[in-house]
Amino acid sequence: MKSFNHTIKDQLGIHARPAGLLVKEANKFASGITITKGEKKVDAKKIFAVMSLAAKHGDIVTLCAEGDDEDDAIAALQMFMDGNL
Mind listing the pLDDT tens digit for each residue in 2-22? 999 999 999 999 999 999 999
pLDDT at 40 over 90: yes
15 is catalytic: yes
Asked if the model's pLDDT at residue 84 lies above 90, the reply is no
Evaluate whether 54 touches 33 at the Cβ level (below 8 Å).
no
> Does the pLDDT of residue 85 top 90, yes or no?
no
CATH number of 15's domain: 3.30.1340.10
The two beta strands, 60-66 and 32-37, are antiparallel
Query: Domain range for residue 46?
Result: 2-84
Query: How many separate domains does the chain show?
Result: 1
Are 34 and 43 in contact, with CB atoms under 8 Å apart? yes
| Per-residue pLDDT tens digits for 49-74 | 999 999 999 999 999 999 999 999 99
d(CA 6, CA 22): 13
Which among 58, 59, 31, 57 has a CA at the least distance from the CA of 44? 31
Q: Which among 2, 4, 15, 62 is annotated as catalytic?
A: 15
d(CA 13, CA 31): 25
